[in-house]
């Protein structure tokens, strides 16, 4: 397993931006699938971005619902063992606790059960 530590959450007005950071430590070579999930009060945890390395490029995915499409971007800095979630044009419905998660690339899906390492979460609040 790996250890994950999120940071960068906070309160922002609608239309604003935040960049979440996830510092990764431990046996990172075994956990190529990285994802960001969020959970709002009274709602189920949902994936908002995930990525894993392919043969020639990094594969990135966002929900088919389009809830974050064009606004959220996941990226990875291997030299810093850090994962980012850039969030632009934030909306009040984006308010939630955001979690960084890691799992094996072979099981990299939206199913949160396939991720075996989780951070403690960071709160994002978007005000209208």
| 91 exposure class (CB count in 10 Å sphere: 0-12, 13-18, 19+) | middle
Q: Rounded distance, CA 96 to CA 103, Å?
A: 22
Task: Please count the other Cβ atoms lying within 10 Å of the Cβ belonging to residue 54.
Answer: 10
pLDDT tens for the chain, 128 residues long, are 799 999 999 999 999 999 999 999 987 777 789 999 999 999 999 999 999 988 888 899 999 988 998 999 999 998 899 999 999 999 999 999 999 999 987 778 999 988 999 999 999 999 99
* CA distance linking residue 122 with residue 120, whole number of Å: 7
| pLDDT tens figures, 107-123 | 789 999 889 999 999 99
């Amino acid at each position: 397993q790996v250890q994950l530590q999120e940071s960068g959450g906070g309160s922002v007005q609608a239309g604003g931006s935040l960049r979440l950071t996830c510092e990764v430590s431990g046996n990172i070579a075994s956990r190529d699938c990285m994802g960001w999930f969020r959970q709002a009060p009274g709602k189920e945890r949902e994936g908002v971005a995930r990525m894993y390395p392919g043969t020639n490029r990094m594969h990135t995915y966002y929900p088919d619902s389009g809830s974050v499409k064009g606004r959220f971007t996941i990226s990875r800095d291997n030299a810093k063992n850090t994962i980012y979630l850039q969030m632009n044009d934030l909306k009040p419905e984006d308010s939630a606790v955001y979690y960084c998660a890691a799992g094996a690339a072979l099981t990299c899906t939206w199913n949160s059960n396939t991720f075996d390492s989780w951070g403690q979460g960071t709160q994002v609040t978007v005000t209208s």
